[in-house]
Structure formats: C-alpha cells, structure tokens
A and B are shown apart, each in its own frame.
Chain A
Amino acid sequence: DTAVSQTPKYLVTQMGNDKSIKCEQNLGHDTMYWYKQDSKKFLKIMFSYNNKELIINETVPNRFSPKSPDKAHLNLHINSLELGDSAVYFCASSLGRVNSPLHFGNGTRLTVT
C-alpha cells in the first residue's frame, strides 16, 4: 500500500507547455505539501495545505498553482514551463499537529527541454 503516491513519476516536456502533477495520500493526514529538490539535492518547500486551506506559499512564481480538492489530494499545475523548472517535485503529508513527521512520495522528475 503506497502511503503517498505521485503521478507521473517522470515528466518530459517542452518550454512553454502547461503540466500537472497529482498527489494522493492514504494516511489520513490533514496537511499536504509540495517540495522542490533541485540538481544539488536542496529540498525547498513550495506550498502547504491544511484541511484544503493554503497555509504556506513560499516565494514561488505564480506560474505554479496548487489545488487541494480534499484532504487526501494535492495537485500542482505549472503554466508556461521554463528550463529552470526542471527538478524533482516531492509531495508530502503530515498530521499537521505540532512536530508531526513528513511522509514523502517518491517524487516526480520534471525535465523541461
């Protein structure tokens, strides 16, 4: 049973295209996140939703738009893709209470050509 699952695992697309990444968790968590991991392995938070409400919105270009239809799902839509968007995007979830550990998906490797 996959706890946090992301699709697709790989995404190769051209500059200027629009793409979406989907995430689902079956852990019963109420908080979900998007993290970006660049080629140097830096992990940086992008967004967080708690009970479908946006609670963290880091300095991310507005070409990136998250959507949380319910507590178990968090999607990421990216418009007008740029070369610099190439990275691995991780979805994560947690219980949202204080100091609850993050559970990560296996990532979506996005390559923009």
Chain B
Amino acid sequence: QQQVKQSPQSLIVQKGGIPIINCAYENTAFDYFPWYQQFPGKGPALLIAIRPDVSEKKEGRFTISFNKSAKQFSLHIMDSQPGDSATYFCAASTSGTYKYIFGTGTRLKVLA
C-alpha cells in the first residue's frame, strides 16, 4: 500500500517530443505528489508538485495531470530538449508523516 509504481523505466524521445511518465498509488491517505529531476552525480531536485484537489498543474514546459479516482498521476514535458535528459522520480506523501515514498524512476533521454 505504501508503494508508488512508476512507468516506463526508460524513455527515448526526439527533441520537441512530449515524453509522458506515469505513476500510480494505492494509499488514499497520500495528499501531496511531487516530481523530482535528477542529473548524473547530483541529488534529486523538485520540479513540480500537485495536491489531489487539483486535476492539472503547469509550470513552464512541465505539466502534472492528476486522476484522483484512478489514483494515478503523470508528468508531461512539452517541447522536450536534450537538457531535459535526466532521471525523473514521482513521489507521494501524507501530511504529518514526514515520509516521502518515491517511484522507481524513469531515465529520459532526449535526442538532439
């Protein structure tokens, strides 16, 4: 119940394409869903986050879509660039628990 399932494991797109990364969860107590971006040799960095009372959130080229009834959320990267090549993690947490459960990560490569 504490798991967050992330897919695909890896993704290759052409520059300008729209990679989509999906995550699913079981625990309905989760109430915060961030996405993190990690470059080689660096720690994960917060990219964008959403709460379950919102179905979509957009920041720049990054959009989170959230489907509460299906217990799924996804990250879309518009007009992807080679600089977006990184590993992306979804995560989920419950207020007051201080604990974030991370997905298994998606390695994205954007070809020039």
Interface residues of A (CB under 8 A from B): 4, 31, 33, 40-45, 48, 50, 55-56, 90, 92, 94, 96, 98-99, 101-107
Contacts and interface: CB of A to CB of B under 8 A. Distances in A.
B51 A45 contact: no
B25 interface: no
Contacts of A102: 34, 36, 44, 46, 100
B41 A31 contact: no
Nearest to A50: B98
Contacts of A92: 43
Contact of B93 (A40, A99, A106): A99
Interface in B34-64: 34, 36, 41-46, 49, 51
Nearest to A43: B102
Interface in B13-31: 31
B98 A31 contact: yes
A41 B87 CA distance: 9
Contacts of B45: 104
Contacts of A107: 41-43
B42 A43 contact: no
B107 to A, nearest CB: 8
Contacts of A101: 34, 46, 49
B42 A106 contact: yes
A56 B99 contact: yes
A102 B45 CA distance: 8
**Which 8 residue pairs spanning A and B have beta carbons closest together?**
A104-B43, A99-B32, A98-B95, A43-B102, A101-B46, A41-B105, A106-B43, A104-B44
A58 B10 CA distance: 28
A99 B43 contact: no
Q: Which of B45, B89, B100 has the most CB of A within 10 A?
A: B100
Given A43-B102, A50-B98, A105-B43, 5 more contacts: A41-B105, A42-B105, A56-B98, A104-B44, A107-B43
